[in-house]
Structure 1
């Protein structure tokens, strides 16, 4: 205290000329340094002060690593760091690779949290036509990206199976001249599946992703049939997951790579049954579990009081589930928490997973495009959901009227990029989590009416900060390296490779080439890449 009663603030010595560019925060009793390349380092408080003062010399055990990672300027290889940064950001100029196709809005389920704004089964006017489907393919194949992933969504997309068949067959025929790598994924509730559809999907290597919210009493409560009609949805999902996984084995496919993926959406009912959810996924051999929170789109705005929860409740649920999944891995069970795996790939590898909602800037319009059943183009499926709620602000134009270059360069796409560029956003630009984080402007728009939002108060900021902190805390306590070995295994990808397609005169194909590729966002995170 000074004689006037004010507090005397002492600042650490700082020799900025000896420092590389970095951000920092505190994890447990350590200081975490992070770099734009994704490199990071943990220091004790005294060592951090020595780093700032320029007195942490070559005799210090961490000195060489700090130089290599770019935290100490003297001896830093600027060219190597530039190469690392270029590798991390190489997706920037690729163009849209994910093309979300809404084949129909019709759906036979009435999920309590539905974000897709479904319509009843008699609304055939919400089916995509073959003419519109042809325009989808023509537009998608003009993307500069060498990799194209068509992802079929709804409604329940298999209600309009003719359009799915057409897009697969027509795109393969067109691709004879384009030479791109094309993959297909289907996000289905499985309740409209039959053997004819299943065998066609298997023969054409369409990757399957379904919704599985947990054991019967949770799944059927979250996802009842519309009007209470039909058998239990849970039974249908179990039947077809087992059918496809059995057929993959019979076809000689590696079950580590070829299996049905599943998505879980967390409602209030899920929170107390987290262990049962994980055990169910393990029993089915599903190796990638995404613990997804609710999204502020569609019908959830009307049902939040029944199914919603506080952000803190979800984050407690997430931490419990993550630690249980880690314990299972220590016991030899191969299962991954998908969101954590995305962060870990940014933290532990030289690559970026190119998850379109977890990058800076966001991939809306530049990494993905969504096509509504009527041919309206959106920068993402979330933009379509906002439109379905009566706000057309994110509609870019219509197929046949808007070129791919005009879509990518649309003012709305530019606004979304500006609103998600972490380097320029207040508080994000100096946050230690910036190399691993991403902003979702459409979430901000729904929550606050503003693309930018108040970042520290947004649900996504709290989720991303918590997940990154949980991972770094556990790594900081990993004295023997056993957990890092588990986490590194979570980041590995192997391609689902099949022989090139043999197209006949009708355009039918037995297989499509598959390559390791980026995860595709909320709808089907593992639709294009199989994770070990």
Structure 2
């Protein structure tokens, strides 16, 4: 006898010896092997506990339209809340000049003396005017380069101009200076203190790793001195660090984490190389991502052990994914947004006045690929953010309707990245079976579910702490 109930949209994946079901809201449930077959063939019985679990978690319904469909709609709207405010992250590339020589440089940086590559005041002010056109009440103004502290006069004019205009617009402005911390002079730090500018610096781990990646023998010493100086000036909580996993780094996960701990950090973001700039040609991409997944698993397990010992230390990429997996809330992390975060959440004003859909987009432009150039700061806001190029990207920028993503169990947790698809596959739409972006995220999400399934009591108290920290902004 066929039992009468209705299937709600869900996707599935085998994890270990169980089946993982994930619904449209990102809710998941582990069930015994063979359950999916029983569900679709209407073999479940009402008296089963499993039946009740599937009803209460929106996998099946006893009516064509679930009684709590309004609740489902509210939760889905919450998941997509990042769309409400539209573009909230505005990146200003103040210069391409840099005082380091990173082996994986993605920004095509120039010599520190070449002022030709600085943003001029006219373009700066036009870009600021565009930024204030964003409907978002909360704006993050991020200064990048090159090394954005080098053209100090441009940095100073930027924050002074925004402060002046914000008397009218009344937006909540967060300033972030992305710096290698080598050039944190007194005047730079005074400006940061006066305008509450956050410092986001780069630290790749121990001295031999950091110096190798930076192409300078004294880089580690100088960046640690810069971090210490910034902390003393601004406060420890105003300085964060980001590492990039070079091919050398892959061999030293524990040493990198120990270095972050010894330098007073309570978190790390295990960031892989991206296929742009110098990294594109200087990396063995055929093996890199397989090695990165091994590196990530080793590092994450080490971090979990550290937390078990009573030391609070967060792996930030994991925390972002866990927030999507374990809570009904959205995240501001552009790479894991659908519809795609480019334009919807981030836009870049390049040093030369051109506007790009994302930071990676302007990196492509340095190699004469202008696929994601939206226009110039002198163009109208509507033509940049709602024009033909933006519409073209929007048509292929959602995991819900991209082949290979639409039927993936992890669709609710992942994001669409037309720029990466174009860069690696010469096609903005992309092809998931050969996508390194897809391969990396599927491997990491699968591993997190494996830990939740097999080591629930060991990892979940730690994961919940990380989520609470992330939500409270500490």
Alignment TM-score, normalising by the size of structure 1: 0.84
Match of 1:331 in 2: 309
Q: 1:121 aligns with which of 88, 112, 119?
A: 112
- 1:280 maps onto 2:259 in alignment: yes
Match in the other structure for 1:302: 281
- Within 5 Å, which residues of 2 pair with 1:164-243? 164-225=155-216, 232-243=218-229
Change (3 A) 1:49 1:321: same
Distance 1:136 1:493 in 2: 34
Q: CA deviation at 1:384?
A: 0.7
Pair 1:371-2:349 in alignment: yes
Indicate whether 1:29 and 2:29 are aligned: no
**Number of the residue aligned with 2:386:** 409
Matched, 1:393 2:381: no
Deviation at 1:375, TM superposition (A): 1.0
How many Å apart are 1:52 and its aligned residue? Answer: 3.3
Farther off after superposition, 145-154 or 292-301: 292-301
3-state SS of the aligned residue for 1:423? coil
The Cα of 1:245 is off from its aligned counterpart by 2.6
Task: Please give the per-residue CA displacement for 1:453-505, whole angstroms capped at 9, x wherever unaligned.
Answer: 2112111001110110011000012343x52221122223578xxxxxxxxxx
Contact preservation (8 Å) 2:319, 2:470: no
Contact 1:105–1:155 (CA<8 Å) still a contact in 2?
yes
Report the CA distance shift for 1:14/1:409 in structure 2 as closer, same or farther (over 3 A): farther
Matches of 1:326 and 1:462 in 2, distance apart?
A: 23
Shift of 1:47: 4.2
Alpha-carbon distance, 1:125 to partner: 1.0
**SS across alignment from 1:475:** helix
Within a 5 Å distance, the mapping from 1:30-109 to structure 2 comes to: 30-74=18-62, 76=66, 77-109=68-100
CA distance in 1, matches of 2:333, 2:99: 30
Secondary structure of the equivalent of 2:142?
A: strand
Matched, 1:271 2:250: yes
Could you tell me how far 1:407 is from its partner in structure 2? 1.4
Partner of residue 455, structure 1: 432
1:289 alignment partner in structure 2: 268
2:451 matched to 1:474? yes
Is 1:487 matched up with 2:438? no
CA displacement, residues 145-196 of structure 1 (integer Å, 9 cap, x when unaligned): 1111000000000001222222212112211221211101011011111223
Structure 1 unaligned regions, length at least 5: 1-12, 226-230, 250-254, 496-515, 517-529
- For residue 422 of structure 1, report the CA deviation from its aligned partner: 1.2
Unaligned runs of 5+ in 2: none
Q: Could you tell me how far 1:288 is from its partner in structure 2?
A: 2.6
Instruction: Say yes or no: does 1:424 pair with 2:410.
Output: no
Contact 1:30 1:43 in 2 (8 A): yes
Partner of 2:232: 246
**Change beyond 3 A, Cα 1:102–1:247:** same
Distance in 2 (CA, whole Å) between partners of 1:373 and 1:479 is: 48
Distance 1:206 1:281 in 2: 22
Whole-angstrom distance in 2 between the partners of 1:370 and 1:15 = 55
CA contact (8 A) 2:94 2:148 kept: yes
Give me the whole-angstrom Cα distance separating, in 2, the residues matched to 1:167 and 1:247. Answer: 21
Quote the residue 1:228 is aligned against.
Answer: none
Aligned-CA RMSD value? 2.1
In the superposition, the TM-score normalised over structure 2's length comes to 0.94
State the shift of 1:91 in Å: 1.8
Offset of residue 303 of structure 1: 2.1
